[in-house]
């Protein structure tokens, strides 16, 4: 829960930092926009001024080149002579030839010679058809200025159908009197072409402030500033602009005719767009130059849109670069965080490993100690078991000897008879040998051997029974074990007149130690004989349960007094006996049960249905069955 809170705070912190960084990048982009715009504006101003200077220089050079022509012609005596004698054909021809030659030489558009009344006397140039000789041009401003004795300098549209041009005129005097006027028209077509070649709109206005040249045709003959009534009247009288209507310029430019600045950078203007040669909707910076010689003004408009686009692209570049830088920084920070986390995880893992190793080592040590203790205990237990086994063996043997002791009387009795017979046969044999009746002696000795054999038959089982040997389980023929046990108690059973019914198939086998099984059977048979003492019916039954080959149990039943309730409960308790002291030790059944348990069987007792007791030795399953 706490970890999630910390992670959330971290996440929020990261977002705040990211937002701040983005703001910084944005601010940098805005700053880049401003700087780029300022630098661009400065560059644009320099470029515009440069273009303006070039244009002004072009205007000046075009006019300068030709404006001295009228002054030069003023000095020509032929012109004055012809003006004084206009009817002289020789002079006329000479003057006309001279004017044509001069015009060809200097490349002026037109050279006019007017008389004092303003009538055209001669014209030389490419457009001689513009005005015919004799035509009255006294209304022209340049004529009037020259007629007044001054130099005329005027832009004028010219004669009908003629292109506009710049006229420079000078008076031709005879002494003090002005006898004629000579004028040269300077072609401004080159300037118009130059204006049209410019990328940005530009214009040239004359000394009246009227636009006389512009790439935007709609601007021509519009006044940058309102014309005075006098200027208007003069222009109309001298047909400066032919019959053109002078309209105000598309936007008011704050220019003063009186004291115009040589160069002015005007505030940006928004020029509205329409189809009549106006500028499209964009912000323009305007620069202006006043040409002192002619009083003309050259105006250049610079579109700020490209400037802004450039500034915007610079800003975008800065923003992109900033964002990329930010992303790289974020990536590096993230990477550093991951590396730090990884290191922390590794440290944690190493610590966990160390703790685990310590724990494992501790546990291993404790396990080793426990194991050693267990091994010690196992060894002690094994030793105790061995001791116990030895003690049990001793006990079993003692019990066996006790049983033998009980059988001793009967056995002695059994041996006494053949011993007596042996003695008699021995005496007889000695007598027969003395008499020389060797045949009979031999016969008696044969009988002696027979008797000895019988005695051996009585003693051998006793010897076997008494032998102290550790338990060695093996396959035992049950009938043989039963017979051996019966033989040991045979004397007692016969003496008590007990009927023995043994229903044990010859094939029946048991997996146990034969000596110990016999000991159990002897004990059971002995107890049965004791129980049947004085009973009218005395029958000992030995039978099996289960299959003939490997029976499940051996059942020993008698027809004795049976098991009283108190006796049955304590039957297998060591030292429990109902027999008189010295007769029973009370160990027989307890040891028998231990023996049977040892070879994997059970020993139980119950009262028989027809009276008497019944002892059941449950046998372990055949070892092949176990597998």
Contacting residues toward ligand ADP, per CB under 6 A: 523, 527-528, 531, 558, 560-561, 563, 567, 571, 576-579, 584-586, 588-589, 613
CB contact at 8 A, 203 and 196:
no
CB contact at 8 A, 145 and 134:
no
Q: How far apart (Å, rounded) are the C-alpha atoms in residues 85 and 64?
A: 32
Whichever of 184 and 493 has its CB closer to ligand ADP, that residue is 493
Output the smallest distance, CB 596 to ligand ADP, in A.
13
Whichever of 234 and 607 has its CB closer to ligand ADP, that residue is 607
CB contact at 8 A, 188 and 214:
no
* Placement of tokens 């440290």 in the chain: 347
- As given in the structure block, the two tokens for residue 156 are 């004028």
Output the smallest distance, CB 448 to ligand ADP, in A.
39
Closest Cα to residue 522, out of 482, 576, 463?
482
- Tell me the three state secondary structure of residue 189: helix
What does each C-alpha distance from 255 to 219, 265, 283 come to in angstroms? 16, 11, 19
Output the smallest distance, CB 459 to ligand ADP, in A.
25
Output the smallest distance, CB 587 to ligand ADP, in A.
6
Whichever of 260 and 586 has its CB closer to ligand ADP, that residue is 586
Output the smallest distance, CB 531 to ligand ADP, in A.
3
CB contact at 8 A, 425 and 448:
yes
Whichever of 204 and 556 has its CB closer to ligand ADP, that residue is 556
CB contact at 8 A, 620 and 600:
yes
Whichever of 152 and 526 has its CB closer to ligand ADP, that residue is 526
Output the smallest distance, CB 462 to ligand ADP, in A.
20
Whichever of 49 and 607 has its CB closer to ligand ADP, that residue is 607
What does each C-alpha distance from 187 to 202, 239, 281, 295, 379 come to in angstroms? 19, 18, 34, 18, 137
Output the smallest distance, CB 563 to ligand ADP, in A.
5
Closest Cα to residue 506, out of 480, 485, 488, 487?
480
Q: How far apart (Å, rounded) are the C-alpha atoms in residues 465 and 485?
A: 9
Output the smallest distance, CB 582 to ligand ADP, in A.
10
Q: How far apart (Å, rounded) are the C-alpha atoms in residues 334 and 18?
A: 12
Whichever of 179 and 485 has its CB closer to ligand ADP, that residue is 485
Output the smallest distance, CB 432 to ligand ADP, in A.
50
Q: How far apart (Å, rounded) are the C-alpha atoms in residues 154 and 238?
A: 10
* DSSP assignment string, 343-401: HHHHHHHHHHHHHHHHHHHHHHHHHHHHHHHHHHHHHHHHHHHHHHHHHHHHHHHHHHH
Whichever of 271 and 563 has its CB closer to ligand ADP, that residue is 563
Output the smallest distance, CB 400 to ligand ADP, in A.
13
Whichever of 103 and 523 has its CB closer to ligand ADP, that residue is 523
Whichever of 151 and 577 has its CB closer to ligand ADP, that residue is 577
Reported as half-sphere exposure (CB side, CA atoms, 13 A), residue 7 has a value of 4
């Amino acid at each position: 829960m706490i970890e999630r809170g910390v992670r959330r705070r971290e996440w929020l912190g990261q977002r705040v930092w990211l937002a701040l960084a983005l703001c910084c990048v944005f601010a940098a982009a805005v700053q880049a926009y401003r700087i780029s715009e300022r630098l661009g504006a400065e560059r644009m101003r320099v470029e515009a001024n440069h273009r303006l200077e070039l244009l002004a220089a072009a205007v000046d050079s075009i006019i300068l080149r030709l404006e001295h022509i009228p002054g030069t012609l003023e000095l020509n005596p032929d012109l004055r002579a012809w003006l004084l004698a206009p009817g002289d054909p020789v002079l006329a021809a000479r003057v006309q030839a001279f004017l044509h030659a001069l015009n060809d030489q200097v490349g002026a558009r037109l050279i006019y010679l007017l008389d004092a009344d303003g009538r055209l006397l001669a014209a030389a140039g490419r457009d001689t058809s513009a005005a015919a000789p004799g035509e009255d041009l006294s209304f022209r401003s340049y004529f009037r200025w020259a007629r007044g004795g001054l130099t005329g300098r005027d832009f004028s549209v010219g004669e009908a159908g003629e292109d506009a041009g710049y006229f420079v005129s000078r008076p031709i005097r005879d002494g003090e009197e002005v006898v004629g006027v000579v004028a040269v028209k300077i072609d401004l077509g080159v300037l118009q072409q130059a204006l049209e070649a410019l990328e940005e709109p530009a214009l040239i206005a004359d000394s009246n402030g009227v636009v006389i040249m512009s790439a935007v045709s709609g601007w021509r003959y519009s006044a940058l500033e309102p014309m005075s009534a006098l200027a208007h009247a003069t222009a109309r009288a001298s047909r400066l602009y032919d019959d053109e209507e002078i309209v105000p310029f598309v936007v008011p430019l704050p220019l003063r005719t009186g004291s115009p600045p040589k160069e002015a950078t005007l505030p940006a203007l928004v020029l509205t767009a329409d189809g009549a040669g106006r500028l499209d909707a964009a912000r323009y910076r305007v620069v202006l130059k006043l040409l002192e010689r002619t009083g003309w003004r050259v105006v250049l408009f610079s579109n700020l849109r490209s400037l802004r686009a450039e500034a915007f692209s610079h800003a975008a570049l800065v923003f992109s670069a900033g964002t990329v830088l930010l992303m790289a920084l974020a990536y590096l920070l993230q990477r550093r965080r991951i590396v730090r986390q990884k290191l922390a995880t590794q440290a944690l893992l190493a610590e966990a490993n160390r703790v685990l190793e310590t724990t494992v080592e501790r546990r291993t040590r404790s396990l080793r100690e426990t194991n050693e203790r267990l091994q010690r205990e196992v060894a002690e237990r094994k030793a105790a078991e061995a001791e116990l086994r030895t003690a049990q063996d001793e006990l079993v043997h003692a019990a066996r000897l006790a049983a033998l002791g009980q059988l001793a009387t009967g056995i002695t009795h059994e041996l006494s008879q053949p011993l007596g017979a042996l003695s008699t046969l021995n005496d007889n044999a000695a007598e027969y040998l003395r008499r020389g009746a060797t045949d009979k002696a031999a016969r008696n000795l044969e009988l002696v051997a027979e008797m000895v054999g019988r005695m051996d038959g009585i003693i051998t089982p006793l010897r076997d029974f008494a032998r102290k040997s550790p338990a060695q389980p093996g396959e035992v023929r049950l009938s043989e074990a039963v017979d051996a046990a019966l033989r040991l108690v045979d004397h007692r059973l016969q003496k008590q007149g007990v009927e023995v019914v043994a229903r044990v198939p010859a094939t029946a086998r048991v997996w146990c130690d034969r000596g110990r099984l016999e000991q159990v059977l002897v004990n059971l048979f002995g107890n049965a004989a004791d129980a049947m003492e004085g009973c009218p019916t005395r029958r000992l039954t030995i039978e099996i349960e289960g299959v003939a080959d490997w029976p499940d149990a051996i059942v020993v039943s008698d027809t004795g007094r049976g098991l009283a309730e108190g006796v049955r409960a304590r039957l297998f308790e060591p030292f429990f006996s109902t027999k008189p002291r010295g007769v029973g030790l009370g160990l027989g059944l307890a040891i028998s049960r231990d023996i049977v348990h040892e070879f994997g069987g059970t020993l139980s007792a119950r009262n028989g249905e027809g009276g008497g007791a019944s002892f059941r030795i449950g046998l372990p399953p055949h070892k092949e069955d176990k597998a």
